[in-house]
A and B are shown apart, each in its own frame.
Chain A
Amino acid sequence: MSADDVTAAFADGPALVPYVVAGDPSADATERYVEALVDGGADVIELGLPFSEPIADGPTIQEGIRRALDAGMTPERYLDLVRDLDVDVPVVCMTYYNLLLQYGEGDEVETFVEAAADAGVSGLIVPDLPVEESAELEAACEAHDVALIFIVAPTTTAERVERILGRASGFVYVQARMGTTGARTDVSEDTYESLERLPEGDLPYAVGFGVSEREHARAIVEGGADGVVAGSVFVDIVAEAESVEAAAAALREKAAELTAGIADATPGGAPEPETTK
């Protein structure tokens, strides 16, 4: 799959983009989990490649990363895992910049991008790489037809939004609130403000950070988003399940719940929910 396939995944209505950490608790389990998420309605899979210093992640995903590293996940095994996946949705790799730099000989990032593209990775999200530092990675992504997905935060100024949109491909990840990743119980006011100030563009806007319930997904799509990203809620399920099978079932169910939330908000997609509050 290619960079355009990532964008295309949003074409048939708002998309669900779930995140799990590769190798948490094992590569085999992750394969099952990705399939389960796709069964539950995932349109794009965001697969975390674990780094030892995840500064953009909250406690839940930090723990998932810790479990994956302890279980031996490496960039090489990650790419093997992606290669073995049997799903027909694009896979986006979320990781930190140092792992891209160290892959292969010398400190450049193209070796990783080429290997990732070859393994079937369609896009990259690198949360510690702002646009100012992204020229090298952008060139590599262009050369190997991999989408480079940037994050827009509540603090991002209008000038920076322009700069980011000028460099982004695949989709734009709209960070719904301040801070790090982590499931919350409400949808932030920031979410609506973030969406309102984003210009109409060619790329879909997917909103994440804190999404855990059907109601959140509905509210985000009603707020104008083209997609919903959810991570910590899935990583929590993985952490708490008694077995791989139980986790897979719960992941599928949660993905289906969020898909239903998206449908709730889509005109003609589902009957209006009969809440009166």
Chain B
Amino acid sequence: MSRRETAADAETNAGASAGKFGRYGGQYVPEVLMPAVEELTDAYERYVLENEDGFVDDFRERLRDFGGRPTPLGRADNLSERYGIDVYLKREDLLHGGAHKLNNALGQVLLAKYMGKERIIAETGAGQHGTATAMAAAYLDMPCEIYMGRTDINRQRPNVFRMRTHGAEVNPVTVGSGTLKEATNEAMRDWATTVENTHYVIGSVVGPHPFPTMVREFQSVISEEAREQAREQLGGLPAAVIACAGGGSNTMGAFHEFVGDEDVDLYAVEAGGSGLGVEESENYAPNSASLGTGSVGVLHGAKTKLLQTVEGQIVESHSVSAGLDYAGVGPELAHLVDEGRVTPVNVGDDAALAAFHRLSREEGIIPALESSHAIAYLEAYEGDGPVIVNVSGRGDKDLDTVIEESEKRDLDEAPDMEVFRA
């Protein structure tokens, strides 16, 4: 489907481990799920890579007619002036549903349909992936259940209502910190029970092969379009592409087609939260910077970079942005960092909030708190222009959090809300 293929595409020798990116990736799942990931790998290769039954054409058409693709690449005039370089924004916030998540959710739900599956499950953190999956499931008429942590339900209420409105069941997960990690555990357990008729729509480039490759494939439409748009609007390639990274699906989507363009620098912006490092005794990291500061381990089906204790217990991560709040990251991204192709950087809660306000005020775009991390990195960026920043989603869902967190910090950038107080 896309221009670039990588090592993990399409090589599945019987009995050998599949889906490796250097030392990362693989299929670390319970035996009960192995036949399912093998079946999915086969379906992915046939439908998505080889366009069997016209899957790819069908998918592309639906991305256009239901999703609203292509999304624009637009010059941010005021930010360009502020930073003295040309800044372009890839507007995934304008995709149906308000985030890049639909590219993947639509692709996977459609694939499940082609595979003859009868039920969809998904995990969600911020609720964006859950919402995108619920939308796609409603559109394609599939029953859908979403696993979501208790804490996330409380901080992302509007998305819970959206999922319910689309007819999805939302199953609260109360164990642990009640965030994305626990929701993923629970979705995997559901899948281990129902795998024969159910497809598990993983929300990022994580999990066992073929998920990291397949999700990247569905998301790479972002860079496919952006690269073409850059040629037309900039007359050539950008100097850099900047995207935030939680699991890394908007990241890989925005990078993939540029990976072969050696002059294009790629920056993955992680959540620096309220500080780097792992607090061993607390089983806690005040950040979600697994790519830049984590260590190698196995979580949720793949070997990758993780935030963990020296003993190997996975810690609770933190970010003001629920969508970045995850202790792992996609294995392909980890590999591209090892290779020196992608530069991991991080932006803390405060800087992300400031960037949220800056983009809202100066460009008339309310970005998701996740995407605000990518915007914020412009403050530190020292390279040449033009740069493309991926605005992975819109921030309406985050308004409650932003108002509360901005007041707590007495942020200069935040608007004065005094007049609204009762």
Chain A residues at the B interface, C-beta cutoff of 8 Å? 51-56, 58, 62, 66, 69, 74-76, 96-99, 101-103, 107, 127-133, 135, 150-157, 159-160, 163-164, 175, 178-180
Contact = CB atoms under 8 A, between A and B. Distances in A.
Interface of B: 14-18, 26-36, 175-176, 181, 185, 188-189, 192-196, 283, 295-301, 306, 308, 310-314
B32 A175 contact: yes
16 contacts: A55-B30, A56-B192, A75-B312, A97-B298, A98-B306, A101-B296, A101-B298, A102-B311, A102-B312, A135-B17, A151-B31, A153-B34, A155-B34, A155-B35, A156-B34, A157-B35
Given A130-B29, A132-B18, A160-B35, A178 B298 contact: no
Given A52-B314, A55-B188, A99-B311, A180 B300 contact: no
A66 to B, nearest CB: 7
Contact of B314 (A56, A98, A128, A154): A98
Nearest to A54: B185
Contacts, number: 128
B189 A55 contact: yes
Nearest to A69: B313
A96 B301 CA distance: 11
Contact of A133 (B28, B185, B192): B28
Given A53-B185, A160-B31, A175-B31, 14 more contacts: A53-B314, A66-B176, A98-B297, A98-B298, A101-B298, A102-B308, A130-B30, A132-B16, A153-B30, A153-B34, A155-B31, A155-B32, A163-B15, A178-B195
Contacts of A152: 31
B36 A155 contact: yes
B32 A74 contact: no
Given A69-B313, A155-B36, A101 B297 contact: yes
A227 B266 CA distance: 55
Contacts of A156: 31-32, 34-35
A155 B195 contact: yes
A260 B35 CA distance: 36
B390 to A, nearest CB: 29
Contact of B312 (A58, A99, A132): A99
Contacts of A131: 15
Nearest to A75: B311
Given A130-B29, A151-B31, A179 B312 contact: no
Contact of B310 (A58, A102, A128, A133): A102
Contact of A132 (B17, B195, B298, B314): B17
B300 to A, nearest CB: 7
A54 B300 CA distance: 10
A153 B195 CA distance: 12
Contact of A98 (B16, B283, B299): B299
